Amino acid sequence: MRHIDHVISGHSGGPNGSGGGSGRSHKVWNPSTGEVQAEVPLGDADLLAKAVEVAKKVQPEWAATNPQRRARVMFEFKRLVEENKQALAELLSSEHGKVVDDAHGDVQRGLEVIEYACGIPQALKGEYTQGAGPGIDVYSMRQPLGIGAGITPFNFPAMIPMWMFGMAIAAGNAFILKPSERDPSVPVRLAELFVEAGAPEGLLQVVHGDKEMVDAIIDHQDIAAISFVGSSDIAQYIYSRGTANGKRVQAFGGAKNHGIVMPDADLDQVVNDLAGAAFGSAGERCMALPVVVPVGEDTADRLREKLIPAINALRVGVSTDKDAHYGPVVTPEHKQRIEQWIDTAEKEGAEVVIDGRGFSLQGHEDGFFVGPTLLDRVTTKMESYQEEIFGPVLQIVRAKDFEEAVRLPSEHQYGNGVAIFTRNGHAAREFAHRVNVGMVGINVPIPVPVSYHSFGGWKRSGFGDIDQYGQEGLRFWTKTKKVTQRWPDGLGGGGDGSNAFVIPTMG
């Protein structure tokens, strides 16, 4: 059985080649076959302390390296990831279950943030005001925090780590990554490629673990900032405990993204977009679109009529099947959880139009497959609507008019993403302005912002005030120092000092 280890001091295998940690381990499945393919050790506070000591030694010199030289490391890392993209996608696919083409997208969206980080010399420039007062200049500079940590989810094992460590390291920080123990191999490989790109050993380290490691990260006094993506309950826990420990924390949680379909929408395009947004990656995306809200009964009936054959035509296959639209879910426990949510929806009164429970793929009967599921007549009072299912399940919630369509995502506990499908520019503009959600798509089903903007949801989808990547990411991983300076001319004339006890003004 394959063994996946920590990466400390830039070497897989941890200090002196030993894994270290708690002595506990976690199974890594092959979701397509239902077999255990590897094991990963679960670290503890002692292991984290070793990683922090390494980071403390390497970070000051890295921060003192000029931004242009740091950018060259990012450029070389980008080149190496591109060179190894196929192998990374296949490795990712084998542990997560998403099809290889989708895994390529996972890697690519992370690389786009690395591309942005390559421009760190420009992004880091501060501000300067000459003559803010008599002989006084004011300027600002951005400086790294020291050591940052990232706690990342299973659903994007390449993209989200690169979102975090790309910006943090380019800004001059050292970084400790705790990836999901469900699919940890790609983060380990990224750390190895980072050293190969010319980064100092120990600048990017990977520690594996569960709640014990998470708590150790939250409580370690030398870790200045934590970035997290995962469930909302854990996000709130990390944010609350981390900020109580004096850390800067951004913690992104769950989602229940809605797709509003206006009566004038191009339904053929909507169906095509919904199929990918709801069922791509088996629905295991925080920006998936699991709720469609047709406005008016006629729109709902027409949409449903077109959705049924489109969903029935979806091909579920192993992760290496080039013709498959999506693959298995990540673990047997997650498969069971999704099917339980379909049970719950049915008991609550939802109409099961297409049932994906009990799906079995010939020749891979032990794989963790869930068939595409369509639920109609879902209401806001149903628990299956209120909570995140995180699987290949699309729910239809019918809205009587535009006002109700705005209200549904606005009042939901999650506020990650939302989309509206319409040909009416006024309706789209009004919706984008009024809806209480952090990321909005207009005829775009998965509105993940490009790397030079920023990613972040509202309400229980995001805890903290600063978003991921882009200029927001730079703000998160740096602190701004403000300098007010005056250079006396040495000619006297300083006055009698009577004004020294009055707060200075620039008026």
Does the annotation count 286 as an active-site position? yes
Distance CA 140, CA 346 (A): 58
Question: SS in 3 state form for 158-192?
Answer: CHHHHHHHHHHHHCCCEEEEECCCCCCHHHHHHHH
Reported for 337-340, long-range contacts at CB under 8 A and 24+ positions apart, including other chains, are 337/391, 338/283, 338/370, 338/389, 338/390, 338/391, 338/392, 338/393, 339/370
Secondary structure letter of residue 35 according to DSSP: E
Q: What is the DSSP string of 93-145?
A: HHHH---HHHHHHHHHHHHHHHHHHTTHHHHT---EEEEEETTEEEEEEEEE-
Those residues with Cβ within 8 angstroms of residue 150's Cβ, 6 or more apart along the chain or in another chain: 160, 161, 164, 165, 168, 175, 176, 177, 178, 226, 227, 228
At 314, list the tokens.
Answer: 């979806």
Those residues with Cβ within 8 angstroms of residue 351's Cβ, 6 or more apart along the chain or in another chain: 375, 376, 377
Catalytic residue among 262, 286, 382, 397: 286
At 224, list the tokens.
Answer: 């200045």
β-strands 248-252, 462-463 pairing: antiparallel
Distance CA 401, CA 72 (A): 54
Helix (H, G, I), strand (E, B) or coil at 307: helix
CA neighbours within 13 Å on the CB side: how many for 129?
Answer: 11
Distance CA 91, CA 79 (A): 18
**How far is CA 28 from each of CA 36, 92, 329, rounded to the nearest angstrom?**
6, 12, 13
- Relative orientation angle of helices 85-96 and 67-83, to the nearest 10 degrees: 70
**How far is CA 51 from each of CA 18, 54, 190, 191, 271, rounded to the nearest angstrom?**
13, 5, 17, 13, 48
Handedness of CA 412, 415, 421, 424 (dihedral sign): positive
Is-contact 409 440, C-beta < 8 A? no
Nearest Cα to Cα of residue 318 among 22, 2, 33: 33
In the chain the first and final C-alpha atoms are separated, in Å, by 73
Distance CA 115, CA 379 (A): 43
CB 486: neighbour CB atoms within 10 A? Answer: 12
Indicate which residues carry an active-site annotation.
286
